[in-house]
Structure 1
């Protein structure tokens, strides 16, 4: 992913982002689109061979992200689409402060996209343009975090395959992050092919020779590219330049990267040696991976910090072995510029380099290109002539008769023979010493503590240095996981062995999320190196609706990175359906309602129709309520009782009037001895009794 110049500044609001986007680019259909109902696409900030990158707003989490969208039509190619989707999975495996994080991956209506960390700032290319050549200390300080990110990737079995200044982002606060692990591919035990379908992925100025020759790559291809970037930081120029990408690729195969001191005099020899080691054309002479190169960078940086001008031993340790780089005849025959041109294609070419295309047929008399030949502005290239140089044929003697002459004896010849023998013996002794005698085997210290490892190595005449720390599922914390060099490898007497110390099991505690919103909980889970599972709606009387009640596993549980965490999301209080208790026993009604968590209040009233102790009325009597709500019950006291007045001895009319005024009904009966006087002889109920209002009083008259 090529990024040039400064990154756009995040707008204050989503509307401002859309407004600014429309003003900048009305022709891009992606701008202003709400992708997957979550990402509001803003201005385009980069464009590559497979995809474009946009600044966007994640409307769900209200944060700025970078959205990488595959170009239209490429999603129809299953192979390209599958590689694009694998980018998210591979990059998501890396959790490192110097790696641009990948948040999400998806597809909508044929648009395949990645949501990545947005890094406002500039690229390493901008730094090179403004500050190179730069002091070696600063150059190493910029390369160090790049190698740290690559070391993490190599430990995870991933190769970046496109390391270049455009893919190194530098934020406003100085943090360095490596972007675009999209061309990375899982590495098996064998070296993997870089080419897919005959297409070589990478940028020509940073391609390792083996990628050009046979399209195969391992971690040492990233080491080579990092070495080229270091050269460019030190000198301000790329090591190999030409009129076409084919010429540049040819030079990678046939010419060593020049020593930086040839352009910047005064650089220490050990800095030249470090660049030479990282960019050795023979990959077996390069560091095995970025972790080893990072260790070598630390040694050089330490020497620079201490003001060391010359260090022959460090130069000897870093410099690649002197060797003539030759090519297998079959490979040489296959190395044809036209075939290479067909295989080479840059997915994200830098601003000053065109994608590699097949060279046009050369006119008659074209100049063959060989190692060391300078290509000027008028040179043309015949694809059939871009081959590895062959040794010249032996010349034939002028006269066969000269072979029959007997050799002449001379003292000079004897002296020369003795000198040659002495030189041979000296060379042999030197080779024996420099190639074998001064080396020893690295003792095995795996599984030991740092102190135990240091003791064992000191006994073998070696120093010990604690390097990186790493998590391990098998090696307990504080013990050695691996060493550089590996156990049994050759190491200089008195040299230093660097050990990687185990941090133990990589575990993370499930965070406490109670009371957070769903989006806040998801972000907190991802920030803890865990995976969000699902939201489980659950009623809660204490946690407001839409807020987290708890998690599964429970908060504080220690789990592996990437473990799935579910959240229980509150739906608010559980609704309760009201039961109507009117006409039923009030005590039973109150007990049932209180069992449901409701608050019952009671009042009493007289009722002629409802028995005493039963419910006359209930509020509310229907619908739904929630725990803690109030239900009012009106309980019957039975009918109201009234004193019966005394009417004995009164006349019928007077007695009837008094009883009716008291609220009673009156029933008149004649006594058995009724004589027609019309006086009340008896009453029931009697005087002094109480009777319900409206009940009947029977009077007996004579």
Structure 2
């Protein structure tokens, strides 16, 4: 099948799986240029109407479903004796392979997979379809983590006239429900039982029931209890074990009543409020003591009940026999004797002729070209069988004889028939299309055709059209025939677009930025100007469309924005702020902080004074940004002034004034009644005087409260 073009549309690439009924191939849909999976009925069943019916049933069952967790059916058809179904190709692994590789799985992963399977079953059940063969082999996990349920080969549509298929046990015995093993009606709850076993296997790495034969396993489903999941894997939360215990009840009435109910339980079982919930308890299962009924025979008599016995003569034949004439019997006897005598005479004549045939010795023709061998045999008085056995044999060239039906030196009668075995050309493989694949994907396809990895060479080059690490071209070309033992394969792999690392242009001068862009093979599309309160005039403040350290292809156009300096509508204003110590002649730490259009909390002065003085503060005001000046004395905010843009522009700013500082008339050491200590007395007096040093003008130069505004 490899290389065959099915229905003139599907080119078979490789075999990727198979089951009891069919083989599965990966193929390319030439019409739609996509990969598909094609299930082909095994040849031994192509004349079996029951299998063909079951095979078609799969297509009908799955085609009626449309769900993100069900493998989609694209096409179904027949070409000669090839019955096939074209379906969605899922790139990934089946769940059985994942379980073998790394079971037990993480609880979160197992619950996520089971939830998606449950969602698919819910959709199928809503469409009156029971899968009847849920097992890890039929669960595909895509590389994106999406779960896909496949193989509805024994699914049965539930209708009012046909509820179950009795008389045969269909499915995989390790995942049977008890009612399935009995061969009685199987419904939605049977699928949920099988899903419970799949979840059990994902979390424990083992099956709940094992036996020496399918019958013994089926009996265990009916009669025995399984080892509880948490006994095998204590890391399983109780809430998750409860889901398994309920789905695997032998009595269907004690299981989940629908896939939706089970999915709701799965979606909530890992919530903190449920993880440590009590273990689910059930009454003793009545079915656990039942004995499995005898398996009903699938064979049926091919003869209808009302068909008469073929050995019985009908009344008409008996009557006709009585009417036979009496002279017939002697005539038959005489004719038989004459015929026997004629045959004997012929045999005697043939034997005499054979006795007179001369004998010849068979020559050896092995390792001779076919034409020379035929010529030698005929010259030796022998006949060559026209049915020459032609097959590829390692070490034997095409057209060279490697076997003869009578060994060399054998004495035979003249004209005896000799059959030759002749070497044929080695069957060639067809090179798959590797374009757009990664090296690992290509290697897997080539190894499937027995190509040695050492014969595969890799070249790399930049390419603007093909993503990095994908194959651009190949040699031999796709579709070419090749000998896996002699071929040399060259794969050219894309390194992606040729790129450079975009530098940061921010803070550079215009000329520096342009020079840097051009040195990297990039182009300057535009230089824009924009006013800024923060960036110095002539310096780059923005770059577009790529930020620093991003990969950029050569030839890409870059736009830079250069600062044109402060906006035209700003107002520069010098604001004179009066400051004074707490007490005249005594040191106080003065700190003046201001906020304007150029920034926040900028320090104008930070020094110690002993007498009143004025601090000039140069402010820059914008239409949408007033200025604020804060005066701190000895760590406290004592005055806050607001200078508005409008007042500064119109010259209507009220200059602040303060009262001169008081002169301390109380000894520094303090006395009784002034706080009990030097520190306490100073604080009390400072509070009183701070309240008097403010300025209460209504334009924002208001009187401050030094006591309540610690820095």
TM-score, normalised with respect to structure 2: 0.40
Higher relative contact order (CA 8 A, sep 6+): 1
TM-score, normalised with respect to structure 1: 0.41
Larger Rg, first or second structure (1 or 2): 2
